[in-house]
Amino acid sequence: MCELMSRFLASEGFEVAYEYDGISGLARRKTDDFDLAVVDIMMPRKNGMDLLRDIVADAVFEAEPMGKTVVYSELTVCFLMADKLWISGALDNVIRNGIRHTQTDSSVDINLLVQEYNVCVNIRDHGEGVEEEKLEHLFDPFFRASEAREHDGSGYGLGLAIVRRAIEMHGGNIVAHNHPDGGLQVDIRLPLTE
């Protein structure tokens, strides 16, 4: 862990190559050439690449034994200039956090909103949320909202730091807030191609 930490901080990026929490792809991509391609991320009624739908299918499979599920509302076709691995890794990470934190017998709810020049992906769970004063640190490296609860060796608090970097590298941004009816909601905005 110490070596991991120093490497992470020294690089100020994600040159580290390691496996955990589904972000190994993200971590590795930093050393590769940044691979931009027009990626069709959501085509619910068509064949072809469908980033979000594929991620959700995997997430549903993982959540099911825990008595949890992942649902999304109607998806709109939209195109963005994106590195597929980075962006799917980022979405996957936020969704998996939601699965971990949402209550048994509840869901992680995904909404997709296409605005003029942006797509907004809102990922909300039905868990305990995050204390208001801690929200601003959620995307800091090594931040854990509750050390006591999360001493299960399941992560280092790096997931969301890497997610933020991935989203910002694509000209987008990411914020988190507590949903008025409970649970954490993470909003990801990404610019669409013209």
Ligand X SMILES: Nc1ncnc2c1ncn2[C@@H]1O[C@H](COP(=O)(O)OP(=O)(O)O)[C@@H](O)[C@H]1O
Measured between alpha carbons, how far is 187 from 194 in angstroms, rounded to an integer? 22
Which residue, 35 or 140, has its beta carbon nearer to ligand X?
A: 140
Cα-flanking dihedrals φ and ψ of residue 98, to 5°? Answer: -60, -45
Considering the rule CB under 5 A, would residue 106 count as an interface residue with Mg ion? no
Considering the rule CB under 6 A, would residue 97 count as an interface residue with ligand X? yes
Task: State which of positions 145-184 bind ligand X (CB under 6 A).
Answer: 145-146, 150, 155-161, 184
What sign does the CA torsion over 90, 107, 139, 5 have?
negative
Indicate left, alpha or beta for 192 from its phi (over 0: left) and psi (-120 to 50: alpha). beta
* Spatial contact of 65 and 34, defined as CB atoms under 8 Å apart: no
Work out how close the CB of 3 gets to ligand X at its nearest, in angstroms, rounded to a whole number.
Answer: 17
Task: State which of positions 11-30 bind ligand X (CB under 6 A).
Answer: 21
Per CB under 6 A, the list member of 138, 167, 188, 190 interacting with ligand X is: 138
Cα-flanking dihedrals φ and ψ of residue 107, to 5°? Answer: -125, 165
Which residue, 54 or 150, has its beta carbon nearer to ligand X?
A: 150
In the list Mg ion, ligand X, none, the entry touching 98 (Cβ below 5 to 8 angstroms by class) is ligand X
Which residue, 155 or 172, has its beta carbon nearer to Mg ion?
A: 155
Per the structure block, which two tokens stand in for 139? 């995307």
Work out how close the CB of 127 gets to ligand X at its nearest, in angstroms, rounded to a whole number.
Answer: 5
Q: Which residues pair with 176 in a beta bridge?
A: 186
Considering the rule CB under 6 A, would residue 143 count as an interface residue with ligand X? yes
* Spatial contact of 86 and 29, defined as CB atoms under 8 Å apart: yes
The residues binding Mg ion (CB under 5 A) are: 97, 155, 159
The residues binding ligand X (CB under 6 A) are: 21, 97-98, 101, 125, 127, 130, 138, 143-146, 150, 155-161, 184
